[in-house]
Chains A and B, each alone.
Chain A
Amino acid sequence: MSTTTATDLAVQMRGITKAFPGVVANDHVDLEVRAGEIHALVGENGAGKSTLMNILYGLIHPDSGEIHINGKPVHMAGPRDAISLGIGMVHQHFMLIPVFSVGENIMLGREPVTGTDFYDHSRARKAINDLTKRYGLALDPDARMGDLPVGLQQRAEIVKVLYRGARILILDEPTGVLTPQQTNELFVVLRDLVKAGKTIIFISHKLREVLEISDRITVMRRGKVVGHLTTRDTSEEEIATLMVGRAVLLRVDKKPAKPGAVVLKVEDVSANSDRGVPALKGVTFELRQGEILGIAGVEGNGQSELMEVIAGTRRSTGGHILLGDRDITTYDARTERDAGVAFIPEDRRGTGLVLSFSIAENSILGRERSLTFSWHELVLKLVAIRDWARKLVKEFDIRTPSIDVAARNLSGGNQQKVIVAREMGSKPKVLLAAQPTRGVDIGAIEFIHRRIVQERDGGTAVLLVSAELDEVRSLSDRIAVMYEGKIVSIESPDTPEERLGLLMTGGGKAREGAA
């Protein structure tokens, strides 16, 4: 490892530049990945990681720059070329077809055939079984892909890439959808793959994982490479500073909570999912003034439905919700708002904002009837609305040229800040925050976290749902673990990650006297 010659490099990208209308996604980017290493590529959203990897996989053509694979210059017209060069990519959003079988998904594009063109099931099955045995990745080729849990779907993606003979594997945010246990399993697989001679490029923004799994790190910011690091000589803080361009606070700085009276009581609440199957099966908990109750769980265990039921956008099928001593179970979204429940929904583009509306208009959504913003609930007070929007933009540091800009044209982080500002601006008793920092960059995460803690300190009761276990652990004063529509345990925030992970997947025992 002391001297690096060109042939030791599995991937060498030099001076890669790619501009999209309005942004330079990659600006003279250099990337060197050694054969047989796990190389982490980190950066905030929009830093250009995905563009760079899509270029390496032939999905996007660079404006300039050159690519060498195993020392030889190459030109890629499409993924087909990348595949034949031994490059495979596991995308962040799985490239799987839920209605196809596992086998069909893996074979697609390189299907074994008999006769003229008949798909050969038995050869497909055999090929998959050989692969899964070689790499120790158990998979049933005949299962329907849509029926598999995400961990196995990801495994299928990896097998799909291996089946195509990949020697260089690109994994784009592979742990985003996994529990801590599944992540550990994935890491075991990755280490085995490296032992088998593969090279891995690992894209992530979870710095702890990057430090755990990678050998070397390339950091990107705003389309440029800002650092090449060796993992064992660096720290989370150093990487974060490079990523953001300034020192950031990784830990949420907060004082111990001073919980007051119970504000929200959820008693034995049940509800159905969109597909009509029970998603909540008797959820009970209490939420106090001035505390943050975080809900940990693998996505799809009823967290979304729980938030919607409390927010009044989903009907419950049983149980009661009490705000103070008022029964708000049957309240719709507007009456909930009037009663003092604010809601940051998980899908900011779909439910949080009207994308074609301006920031000013979005800043009063749900409050357009209030007498502050309208005369007799009929005619909007435009001046008051604009003043209000300007105040929020300033207070919440929303980066925008004006309050008349359509929400669509803001970055993800600023869109999220508009929602956070609107919801916190209504001075709620209860704040429901679902995935408040999903897809938002580190700077905005830091800001939103600080505001949530401020809300708490101001006496608001905060209910937090997040798929990021780190976020739940660092923000919450108590953690409720949800599994299959029930709260299985209520834990303290310093509970080890392993225990939470176990509870999240239906293992472990509830704490004595909890819930």
Chain B
Amino acid sequence: MSAITDILQLLVTANLWQVAMVSAVLLLLPALGGVISERSGVVNIAMEGMMLTGAFFAVWADLNWHSPWIAVLVAMIAGGLMALIHAVVSIRFRADQIVSGIAINIFAAGLTVYLVRTIYGLQDVGHVVPAEALPTWDVPLLSAIPFIGKVVFQQNVVVYIALIVLVLVEIVLFRTRLGLRIRAVGEHPQAADTAGLNVYVIRYGAVITSGLLSGLAGAFLAIGVSNTFVPNMTDGRGYIALAAMIFGKWTPRGAFVACIIFGLGEAIYANNSTIHVSQYLLSMLPYLITLVVLAGLVGRSTPPAADGIPYAAGSE
């Protein structure tokens, strides 16, 4: 009983929500990438690997060039390149998209460990100087708002970027010509093709975008949150992002709500010292929420009709 009151007490503190927001953004960026990729008809479960690759290259670039912004750029390119592999395998060669995604995740885990060992000879590449990490920035005036100010406007810059990206993706997907075309390609590539659209270009673009966003999330994790690279540091976030995408029924705003819920779970765990329940039980919380949500709360959500089906021009 006391554990529940502990959690309820936590839920009214702005500190908890501030932490939850960071956790949520780490999920939101790859989830938005997943939404874009799957809306175009390419199943993408490789966000985990793309994020991990981004995390490593962010640290590597930051240690080399001492600029978090160059690091972010390098991380996004690294994530984008991993996505390009997935795109080539699943669009050009029409391979099974799940298998390709799993392969990329395993490949990324191996690649980053290998690079850490060869370049640094250690498990842990050491700390990025705080001055060279991604900065937090208090938005003038708005950060002074009670509660909301602390939760939303006293955050790392990547949080602001992520929220802007969220709004952008929502608008692009559902209000613009580009979005209409992306969704058309994901629903019925033959129809899009006969309407004169280039199915392949749109799918490549969508998959690579998911890599860029996952790479950004990796950079945020490595040089914004933990200031170090640890092998396998993404810790399943790419998969939880996948769950958030499905929970959100392949919409950006739905995915955002899901990410907030999962983020809260993580934040509560982070406060386990103040809760009277085994921390091991608490550590399961985000995953438990994922399972419950996927099995029961969401019910059946329908993916884009051509999601996961390779397209070959001229076939019917």
Contacts and interface: CB of A to CB of B under 8 A. Distances in A.
30 contacts: A57-B194, A59-B194, A59-B313, A60-B314, A79-B193, A79-B195, A79-B196, A80-B196, A89-B194, A91-B194, A96-B191, A97-B187, A97-B188, A97-B191, A99-B305, A100-B180, A100-B183, A100-B187, A105-B191, A108-B180, A108-B181, A108-B184, A108-B195, A109-B195, A109-B196, A109-B197, A111-B180, A119-B175, A119-B177, A119-B180
B235 interface: no
Contact of A93 (B177, B180, B181, B316): B316
Contact of B196 (A50, A78, A118, A119): A78
A99 B304 CA distance: 9
A247 interface: no
B98 interface: no
A52 to B, nearest CB: 13
A54 interface: yes
Nearest to B188: A97
A91 B187 CA distance: 17
Contact of A113 (B177, B187, B313): B177
A45 to B, nearest CB: 13
B122 to A, nearest CB: 48
Q: Count chain B CB atoms within 10 A of each CB in A50, A78, A97 and give the residue with the most.
A: A97
A325 interface: no
B313 A108 contact: no
Interface size range of chain B in the complex: 20 to 34
B196 A117 contact: no
Interface of B: 172, 175-181, 183-184, 187-188, 190-197, 305, 313-314, 316
B184 A95 contact: no
A117 B191 contact: no
Interface of A: 50, 54, 57, 59-60, 78-80, 83, 89, 91, 93, 95-100, 104-105, 107-111, 113, 116-119, 160, 164
Q: Count chain A CB atoms within 10 A of each CB in B177, B180, B188 and give the residue with the most.
A: B177
A117 B176 contact: yes
A364 B313 CA distance: 38
Instruction: Name the 7 nearest CB pairs between A and B, nearest first.
Output: A109-B195, A95-B191, A80-B196, A109-B196, A117-B176, A108-B195, A111-B177
Contacts of B181: 108-109
Given A108-B191, A109-B192, A118-B175, A54 B314 contact: yes
Contacts of B172: 117
Contacts of A160: 195
Contact of A95 (B175, B188, B313): B188
A79 B198 CA distance: 10
Contact of B194 (A95, A98, A104, A107): A95
Given A108-B191, A119-B175, A100 B184 contact: yes
Nearest to B313: A59
Nearest to A50: B316
A108 B179 CA distance: 11
Contacts of B196: 78-80, 83, 109-110, 164
Nearest to B175: A118
A118 B172 CA distance: 8
Contacts of B175: 118-119
Nearest to A91: B194
B163 to A, nearest CB: 21
Nearest to B187: A97
B40 to A, nearest CB: 13
Contacts of A119: 175-177, 179-180
Nearest to B174: A119
A119 to B, nearest CB: 5
A142 B313 CA distance: 30
A120 B183 CA distance: 17
Nearest to A94: B191
A190 B87 CA distance: 43
B262 to A, nearest CB: 27
B167 to A, nearest CB: 14
Contacts of B183: 97, 100
B187 A95 contact: no
A170 to B, nearest CB: 11
Contacts of A164: 196
Given A97-B305, A119-B177, 12 more contacts: A79-B193, A89-B194, A93-B190, A93-B316, A95-B194, A97-B187, A98-B187, A100-B180, A104-B180, A108-B195, A109-B181, A119-B176
A97 B183 CA distance: 10
A96 B179 CA distance: 17
A94 to B, nearest CB: 8
B180 A95 contact: no
A79 B194 contact: yes
Nearest to A95: B191
Nearest to A92: B316
A100 B180 CA distance: 9
A119 B172 CA distance: 10
Contacts of A100: 180, 183-184, 187
A95 B177 contact: no
A412 to B, nearest CB: 14
A91 B178 CA distance: 25
A225 to B, nearest CB: 22
A110 B197 CA distance: 9
A55 to B, nearest CB: 10
Q: Count chain A CB atoms within 10 A of each CB in B177, B194, B313, B314 and give the residue with the most.
A: B194
Contacts of A54: 314
Given A108-B180, A108-B197, A99 B190 contact: no
Contacts of B176: 113, 116-119
A98 B187 CA distance: 9
Contacts of A79: 193-196
Nearest to A113: B177
